[in-house]
Every structure is written in structure tokens, then in C-alpha cells.
Amino acid sequence: MENLEKMKQLIDKLNKYAYEYYVLDNPTVSDKEYDALYDELCELERQSGHVFPDSPTRRVGGDPIEKFAEHKHINRLYSLDKCKTFDELIEWDSKLVKALGRPIEYTLEYKLDGLTLCLTYENGHLSVASTRGNGVVGEDVTEQVKTIKSVPLSIPHKGIMEVQGEGIMRVSALNEYNKTAAVPLKNARNGVAGAIRNLDPKVTASRNLDVIFYNVNYIEDDIPSQQKMIDLLKENHFKTEKLLITSDINRIIEEIKGIDRSKLDFVIDGMVIKVNEVSIRESLGFTDKFPRWAIAYKFEAEETTTTLNDVVWQVGRTGKITPIAELDAVELCGAMVKRATLNNYGDIKRKGVKIGSKVFIRRSNDVIPEVLGVADQQGGKEVELPTVCPSCKSQLIENGANLFCPNEYGCKPQITGRLVHFCEKECMDIEGLSEKTLGFLFDKIGLNSFEGLYALTKDDLDGLEGFKDKKIANLIGGIQKSKDADLAHFINALGILNVGKKLAQDLAKEFRSIDALMAADKDRLLLIPDMGPITADCIIEYFSKHSAKIHNLMSLGINPKFEIANSTGVFSGQKVVLTGTLAQFKRSQAAEIIQKNGGEVQSSVTSTTTLVIAGEAAGSKLDKARKLGVKIIDEKEFIDLINS
């Protein structure tokens, strides 16, 4: 018992010293003193056979794990909308100011270039650390993150707290590591991603990583602003970076212009601008992917030069023919680049690109490599404009700056591309139909259309290589089930040029039937928020060309519906807030049920809220509801209501 108490005292002291050294950059003891206390703790742990959860000895890294488990975040982690010019940033600011009718206070932070991490603390101790994943579910990397010395294993806050930060490998740490590494790391971003996503925590420990925190993703109490959020993180011993707060967008622009990335000991690829006040954030809300109250200003992408060896032409799902540059392999933004886009033939001529040219290439937004222009001509061979499709040899059609293959039902790449998109989860959600499988079915049985997909029978597939009875049954079953897809998913599945998931949802909500959408003229379409004239033309052109296809799909049993909220449902007229964790539903599922039954889902408790549904670990929203006298029910009562 005496040893355990002594161990607790040593742990508190060592963690305090580590916090001062790794977070505050203000050591108060020498390495020799620290090492002596650390050795004493190790000996006591050996004698007692006990290691406390926040012991610094846990940072050395345990045994390798077999695989990463999944971890669901308490709240979704959103990505950020991006802009690349100051004009776009000013336009974003103007849009928000106009919506609110007054100036807005913003914060400015570094956009760190590493690996996003989400850490959950319970009762003051780190319980789970995970990667961002898809924003809802990530990979459990707790043992790896525990090796990072700037990450607190215990914090003063004793409730449940989920924090978000960026795992980084400092430039100095990268340089030091590469001095003795058998295989040097190419860059800091690869260094941190490879270390945290390594199954052996000892590899993580060897990289000397760091984490900079910038967001409290969940806590029981309300936090009024980003500034207070950073203050709370600091109070709980998390490392943060400096924060500029201003209502002047021009001040933000001047600050961004003055940043010298070469003087930083970590890599950034932009700056993040956020609305400071949380109440304003709640009123602005989210799009399908991004918060409307934050934006990332992206710095100019990394560029380099290499030799263009050839140009090949690829066919996309719309029939568009795109030139692809084949390059001498070169490293760019941490990846080996061998191919890059040239957009179209006009782009090739405008840039003066020839086969054999030395060219500048860039990864646009650090993702898609693009040829920017010629660095050194050195003669070279002119790129020839193709006249026939590289796949099916059909005569190409010129439409504006682009070439198209008109062979819609006979050109394999565009057919498989359309069908792959049609079957995706956010479209008709048909499993088991990969690009390879759809290409095989095109070759063997001539599958070349959405209608052909729904006409498939067991006899068509029986005897084909790889198609056994169970696979056939699952595939046919999945195709039949997809006939009940809702209108938004169906519109998205059609693959209309410039129409993605979000616009498909807006179109479904506005028109409520495929027939009404097909009948809409350009003026009617332009009434949709964020609808531009080019996209409106694409929609009109698609339906003028493919109305017979849509009617054929209807005749095959596809019945895309827009579900109107039930005005007499159990939540009719109710303004409902969900808080805490529900055992039988994801929060999005519960919200959908409420909306279908006539209710409106609110993000926070206000004076207009009429009902709060409280799950496990409900926090400040529940307290606020009690203060306001709002009716509160638990999950069981919620289930009883929807089943009544």
C-alpha cells in the first residue's frame, strides 16, 4: 500500500515535469533528476506488479497488436471547406456577414499537415485514441498515441471529454530520425501517418511525435467560443498553438501573407478561419460535408519538374476523353508521381506541352497531380489530337474544349464507370458490383445499362466464372432491394454532370418526384440555392436525352419516392433535441425518424424546444432542458412513442 502511494506521488511529479518540458517548453528539472525519479518508479512498478493508467512508463510502447479495431466518435468529425484565393475568402466572409446582419469575430489557426486524431477521456484518464477515419468511425490507435510524450495520459477534467488534434512529426524530429534510420523518411507527414498507423507501438515511440490540439469535440458543458475552447484545452494540459482573434477579414489576410513556413518547426498547408462564437456556429449549421462556420485557406500546392514521356487518352463515365501525361517518376507531396492530368487538348496547346518536354507539375490541393506548363522545351514531339475513342474506336465528337465518345452503350470504360457510380452506397447501394465485375459482365453478357442491371436473372449469371449460387442470390437480392431507394439517392445515381449528393438532396426536396424534376425548365431550376446556369443546362440536357431510360427504369419496378414528413405523426409540431448516446440508434437514424414523424430536430436546447430525448452520458443540454422546464424522455420512451 505504501509503495502504491509512493508510485502515485512519483507519477504526478513526473507527469508535471513532462508537461512543463513537452507542452510548456519550460523544463524545471534536469534530465538527470527526471531520469532518477523515472528509474525509481520503474523499480516500484516491478516490485508491486502494478502500473497505473497514467504512468509515464506506458509511453515506451507495448507489444505489437494484430490489427486496428474500429472506434465510433461521440460526435462526427467534419472536414473543412477550402479556398485558394483571398477573393474567395472575402466572399465567404461577406456571405456570413450578410446572413447574420452584423460583423463576425473570427479565429485564425494553423492548418497542420499531419494525421487527425480524436482522443476520449473518461474520469480524467485517456480511454481511447483514434484516427479520424470517415468522420464517424476511425481506427483505435490508443497504444500508439500513448507513446507521444506531449499527450496527457490524465487530465484535471473528470467527465467525458473528446478532443481533436493533429498528430505531427516536427521537422527537427524528422531530421534527427533520418540521421540514424536504415530507411530515411521522405517527409514529416509520411513520418507521422506511418508511425501512428503502425501495428507496433514501439515504432511510434521511435519517431518522437507530437500532437497539437484545436477542438473539443464533446464535453458535457457548453463552451461559448473557440477562444474558451483553447483555454479549456490548455487548462487540461493539452498543447495548443497561438490564436488570432479579429472581426477584420483584411487583418486575417495580412496575417496569412506574413507567414514564413520555412521558420516553423512543423509543416502547414494552409490556415483555418473559424467563427469564434459557438452560438453563431449553431445558427449557421453544416452542409453535408462541412461546417458553414469554418474554412481553410490553402497555400499554393507543391510544385516540381520532370519529363513528359507520353500522353495517353482515357474515357470517363460521361464519355469525356481526358489526356493523361505519363512522366518520369518524381516525388511530390510525399508521393511518387508517374501520371498527371492535362485536362483537354486545348490545355495541352495553351501550355505548349510536347512529348519529351521538361514540365512543371503540381498536386492540386495536394491530391490530383496536374501538368502546369513547360519548364524546358528541348524540342519534343507534338501531342496528336485523337479522332477515335481509345477504347471502342468510335469517331469522337468535339464539344467546346472537350472530346467525347458518343458510343454510350458500347464503350466499355464509360459503361462500367456509370454502373460503378450507380451502384455506390450513396446512390443505389448495390453491393458486389465492382468495376472489375461490371467489366466482366459487359464482356460476357453485354451488360451495358442501368435497365440491363435490373433485367438480370439467375439464368444470365449461372455458369459464369466466380458466380456461385450464393453470390448470384445476394446480387439479385441487392438489385431488387435497391428499387426502393429514395429520390435523392436515385438522382445522385443517374450521374448527371455537376450533380452530386448535396444537390441531389436539394432537387429531391424541391421537386419531390422524378417526373416534376424532368419537367422543370431552366428558370425553375435556377431558383434552387447554389444552382448555376451551367449545372441547370446539364440537368435539362440529361433528361431531354434520357427520358426514355428513366421511364424504362420505372417500368422495371424502380419507384424513387420523396418521403414527406407525416403531419399527424407522433412528433408533429415538436422541436426536438437529441443528447447523449442512444443504444439502439445512431443519432442520424433517430433524427430521420423524428423528421418523418413530423418533428423538427434542433442542435441545441432553446426557448422554442419542446422535447429532449436523453441517452446515456447526456450532459449540458439535459441540464439546460431541466432549467427551462422542457419535457425530457429517455430512449425507451422514444421507442414506445414511435411504435405506438
Mean pLDDT value across residues 621-626:
83
Tell me how far CA of residue 23 lies from CA of 37, 64, 118, 213, 240, in angstroms. Answer: 20, 28, 18, 11, 8
On whether both 99 and 171 belong to a single domain, the answer is: yes
Q: What pLDDT does residue 3 have?
A: 75
Please say if the pLDDT value at position 502 is more than 90: no
Residues whose CB is less than 8 angstroms from the CB of residue 408 and which lie 6 or more positions away in sequence, other chains included: 319, 414, 415
> 107 with 227: CB under 8 angstroms?
yes
Residues 203 and 275 both lie in one domain: yes
Active-site choice (13, 32, 67, 111): 111
Q: What is the average pLDDT across 456-480? A: 90
Q: Cα 603 to chain center, whole Å? A: 21
Task: Tell me the residue range of the domain where 537 lies.
Answer: 487-555
Spatial CA neighbour of 56 closest among 39, 33, 73, 77:
39
Q: Reduced to 3 states, what is the DSSP secondary structure of residue 192?
A: helix
Residue 52's pLDDT band (cuts 50, 70, 90): confident
Q: What is the average pLDDT value for the chain, to the nearest integer?
A: 87
Q: Which of 117, 149, 142, 125 is nearest to 20 (CA)?
A: 149
Band (pLDDT 50/70/90 cuts) for residue 263 is confident
- What is the number of alpha carbons within 13 Å of residue 331 lying toward its C-beta? 5
Q: What is the pLDDT of residue 199?
A: 86
Residue 482 is which amino acid? Answer: S
Structural domain contains residue 391: no
Kindly indicate the confidence band of residue 492, based on its pLDDT and cuts at 50, 70 and 90.
very high
Report the distance separating Cα 218 and Cα 14, nearest Å.
28
Among residues 298, 320, 339, which one ends one of the domains? Answer: 298
Question: Is the same domain home to 522 and 583?
Answer: no
Specify whether 111 is catalytic. yes
| 570 within domain boundaries | no
Residue 362 has pLDDT above 70, yes or no: yes
Same structural domain for residues 120 and 258?
yes
110: CATH: 3.30.470.30
CA angle 244, 286, 83 (to 5 degrees): 55
CATH code, 358: 2.40.50.140
What tens digit of pLDDT does each residue of 567-581 get?
Answer: 678 888 888 999 888
Work out the number of other CB atoms within 10 angstroms of the CB of residue 624: 18
Q: Which of 274, 268, 216 is nearest to 243 (CA)?
A: 274
Q: What is the mean pLDDT of residues 543-562?
A: 89
Least confident of 82-96, 417-431, 605-619: 605-619
Do 321 and 113 meet the contact criterion of CB atoms below 8 Å apart?
Answer: no
Give which of 641, 589, 531 is closest to 136, Cα–Cα.
Answer: 589
The pLDDT value recorded for residue 224 is 95
137 with 267, same domain?
A: yes
Do 121 and 45 sit in the same domain of this protein? no
Q: Is there a single domain that holds both residue 202 and residue 117? A: yes
Residue 521 falls within a domain, yes or no?
yes
More confidently predicted of 340 and 601: 340
**22 pLDDT band (50/70/90 cuts)?**
low
Q: Is residue 66 part of a domain?
A: no
Q: Is residue 396 part of a domain?
A: no
Total residues found in the chain within this entry: 644
The pLDDT-based confidence of 365 (bands split at 50, 70, 90) is very low
Q: In terms of domains, do 526 and 579 share one?
A: no
Decide if 180 is inside a domain. Answer: yes
Same domain, 115 and 259: yes
Q: Is the pLDDT of residue 612 over 90?
A: yes
Q: Which of 277, 298, 319 is the last residue of a domain?
A: 298
Cα–Cα distance, 97 to 94 (Å, whole number):
5
In the three-class reduction of DSSP (H, G, I as helix; E, B as strand; rest coil), residue 97 is classed as: helix
pLDDT tens digits, residue range 184-206?
Answer: 676 788 789 889 988 888 888 88
d(CA 35, CA 271): 39
pLDDT of residue 495: 92
Q: Provide the domain count of the chain.
A: 6
- Span 27-42, mean pLDDT? 78
CA 405 to chain centroid, in Å, comes to 33
Identify the residue with better confidence: 62 or 175: 175
Query: How much is the average pLDDT of 504-531?
Result: 88
What's the mean pLDDT in 450-467? 90
Looking up residue 615, the CATH number of its domain turns out to be 3.40.50.10190
Over the stretch 307-361, which tens digit does the pLDDT of each residue have? Answer: 999 999 999 998 999 999 999 998 876 678 899 988 888 888 878 888 998 888 8
Q: Are residues 248 and 202 part of one domain?
A: yes
Task: Give the domain-ending residue among 271, 298, 325.
Answer: 298
Q: Is the pLDDT of residue 169 over 90?
A: yes
Identify the weakest region by mean pLDDT among 297-301, 355-359, 521-525.
297-301
More confident residue, 644 or 93: 93
**pLDDT, position 628:** 85
Claim to verify: residue 225 and residue 127 sit in the same structural domain: yes
Is 392 within the bounds of a domain? no
Taking the C-alpha atoms of residue 136 and residue 74, their distance in angstroms, rounded to an integer, is: 8
- Are 97 and 244 contained in the same domain? yes
Structural domain includes residue 564: no
